[in-house]
């Protein structure tokens, strides 16, 4: 026989889990958007500062040194930011997967290793 109370309880639990997970995912996307905005602002400020410095240069050699330093700094900052963003996306993917981890493990008999 079908137990309506049990089905209702399971449905309620599933909805609560989904809403909690949705909230965590939304926070993850907000953090990523805030980080991207921050990086964009810093990049623009650095470019503005570089252009101001470049406009006051009196020799080609100094201009090339300034440009070389700016390019190196920009590249290092980009690599650092890309690494940070990829870690944020990986964490978000783990958050999205978390509610499905137990049912998949139960259905397949495979348990996924957890991060330390």
pLDDT tens-digit map of 21-31 = 888 889 999 99
Residues in contact with 77: Cβ distance below 8 Å, sequence separation at least 6, in sequence order: 42, 43, 46
| Chain-centroid distance, C-alpha 24 | 13
pLDDT band at 8 (very low <50, low <70, confident <90, very high): confident
Percent of the chain at pLDDT exceeding 70 = 92
The domain in which residue 48 lies consists of: 4-108
The answer to whether residue 115 is domain-embedded is no
When divided into structural domains, the chain yields a total of 1
Query: Residue 25 falls within a domain, yes or no?
Result: yes
pTM of the model: 0.72
Higher pLDDT residue, 4 or 81? 81
Better-predicted residue by pLDDT, 113 or 80: 80
Q: What would the DSSP string read from start to end of 8-66?
A: HHHHHHHHHHHHHHHHHHHHHHHHHHHHHHHHHHHHHHHHHHHHHHHHT--SHHHHHHH
Q: What span, in angstroms and rounded, lies between the C-alpha atoms of 83 and 86?
A: 5
Tell me whether residue 114 is in a domain.
no
Residue 116 belongs to some domain of the structure: no
In a domain, 64, yes or no: yes
User: Residue 99 burial (CB < 10 Å; 0-12/13-18/19+)?
Assistant: middle
């Amino acid at each position: 026989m079908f137990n309506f109370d049990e089905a209702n309880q399971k449905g309620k639990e599933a909805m609560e889990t989904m809403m909690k997970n949705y909230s965590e995912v939304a926070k993850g996307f907000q953090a990523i958007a805030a980080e991207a905005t921050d990086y964009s602002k810093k990049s623009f400020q650095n470019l503005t500062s570089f252009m101001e410095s470049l406009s006051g240069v009196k020799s080609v050699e100094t201009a090339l040194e300034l440009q070389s330093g700016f390019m190196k700094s920009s590249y290092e900052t980009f690599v650092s930011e890309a690494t940070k963003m990829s870690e944020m996306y990986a964490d978000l993917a783990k958050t999205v997967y978390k509610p499905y981890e137990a049912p998949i493990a139960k259905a397949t008999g495979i348990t996924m290793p957890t991060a330390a």
